[in-house]
């Protein structure tokens, strides 16, 4: 099974052979194994994990879709950052900033609240993804 990840900034992963893909679906995390039936699924914010002969690779993903067709997995996302690309310090600063901002907000604020929630989730995901990098360097 091969995977391709495309964002507005171009292809982030190109025809990489994988054994398993874990993605953040809007209805919850989902894992795709070879031989999956065809589907198109909307994606939320969260980590994407690729497992294969190369081991495990983590990415921070936000929004978009995945199309599974035959042995092809095609991900279309707004943003996709590999663990190596994530700036951990910046993500941490961003998380703190969003948290303080949200302290003075409440869910009744509609769009603004939703946007803040999304940035919170993005920051958390990026931190989580960045953490996998430091874990692997420890080994």
Partner 1 sequence: MATLKQIRRRLTSVRSTQKITRAMKLVAAAKLRRAQENMLRALPYAARLRRMIWDLSQHTDRAMHPLLQVREKEKVLLLVITSDRGLCGAFNSNINRRAERFLRNREEGHREAELALIGRKGRDYFRRRNHPIFQEYMEVLSAPTMDRVSEIGAQVAARFLDGGHDAVYMVYNEFKSAISQRVVVERLLPIEPEWSEEQQQAEQALEGLEFAFEPSPEAVLSAVLPLYVNVRLYFAVLESLAAEMGARMTAMESATKNAGEMIQRLTLQYNKARQASITKEMLEIVSGAEALR
Q: Which positions lie near partner 1, rule CB under 8 A?
A: 6-11, 25-27, 30, 37-42, 65, 67, 69-70, 74, 76
Q: Positive or negative, the Cα torsion across 91, 93, 97, 103?
A: positive
Write out the H or E segment, with its range, that includes residue 115: helix 111-138
Measured at the alpha carbon of residue 100, what is the angle toward residues 94 and 102, in degrees to the nearest 5?
100
The answer to whether the beta carbons of residues 34 and 19 sit under 8 Å apart is: yes
Rank residues 12 and 57 by Cβ distance to partner 1 and give the closer one. Answer: 12
Minimum gap (Å) between residue 30 Cβ and partner 1: 8
Rank residues 70 and 134 by Cβ distance to partner 1 and give the closer one. Answer: 70
> What are 38's two structure tokens?
């065809």
Rank residues 6 and 102 by Cβ distance to partner 1 and give the closer one. Answer: 6
Rank residues 67 and 117 by Cβ distance to partner 1 and give the closer one. Answer: 67
Phi, psi dihedrals of residue 98, rounded to the nearest 5°:
-65, -40
Write out the H or E segment, with its range, that includes residue 49: strand 45-52
Minimum gap (Å) between residue 8 Cβ and partner 1: 5
Minimum gap (Å) between residue 51 Cβ and partner 1: 21
Minimum gap (Å) between residue 70 Cβ and partner 1: 8
């Amino acid at each position: 099974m091969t995977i391709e990840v495309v964002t507005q900034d171009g292809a982030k992963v190109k025809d990489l052979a994988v054994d398993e893909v874990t993605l953040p679906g809007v209805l919850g995390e989902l894992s795709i194994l070879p031989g999956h039936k065809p589907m198109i699924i909307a994606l939320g914010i969260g980590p994407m994990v690729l497992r294969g002969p190369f081991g495990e690779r983590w990415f921070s993903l936000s929004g978009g879709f995945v199309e599974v067709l035959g042995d092809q997995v095609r991900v279309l996302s707004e943003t996709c950052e590999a663990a190596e690309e994530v700036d951990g310090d910046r993500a941490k600063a961003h998380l703190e900033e969003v948290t303080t901002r949200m302290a003075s907000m409440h869910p009744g604020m509609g769009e603004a609240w939703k946007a803040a929630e999304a940035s919170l989730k993005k920051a958390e995901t990026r931190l989580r993804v960045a953490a996998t990098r430091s874990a692997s360097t420890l080994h």
